[in-house]
Amino acid sequence: MIVGDNIFVMLLEEDFFKTFTNKTVSDATKSTEVLVCLSCESRGDVDEMVKKAVAAGGTTPMKQQDYGFMYQHGYQDLDGHMWELMYMDPKGPPQA
């Protein structure tokens, strides 16, 4: 799956995935094995990707967070993996 110009994700069925490791494959619906965070170009891009994930069967176990200069939201995919998406204003947080 192409996520961005230089970001690619390989999504594998479990039986094929097992050929890549000798370890037991985690059940991500029962424990968190990894949290993937991707940076987006805008707040709208964050919302659009979450919307697409939910339309494909994903869920949003947490509400979006808006810190003013940083906006984040995420989803859980069908296997239980957590994907966080964030947009950070290039100007950064307000200076005191």
Indicate the Cα dihedral angle 36, 39, 44, 47, nearest 10°: 10
Six-digit token string for 27: 């059940």
Residue 22: its pLDDT value, please? Answer: 93
Residue 34: its pLDDT value, please? Answer: 80
What are the residue boundaries of the structural domains of the chain, listed by start?
27-88
How is residue 59 annotated by DSSP?
B
pLDDT, mean of residues 42-52: 96
What is this structure's pTM?
A: 0.77
Give the Cα separation of 43 and 17 in Å (integer): 33
Give the Cα separation of 53 and 29 in Å (integer): 16
Six-digit token string for 83: 């994907």
**Pairing relationship of beta strands 65-66 and 7-8 according to DSSP bridges:** unpaired
**Bridge partners of residue 73, in order along the sequence:** 85
Architecture field, domain 27-88: Roll (3.10)
Q: Please report which confidence band the pLDDT of residue 96 belongs to, taking 50, 70 and 90 as the band edges.
A: low
Residue 9: its pLDDT value, please? Answer: 85
Give the Cα separation of 92 and 96 in Å (integer): 12
- Whether 95 shows a pLDDT value over 90: the answer reads no
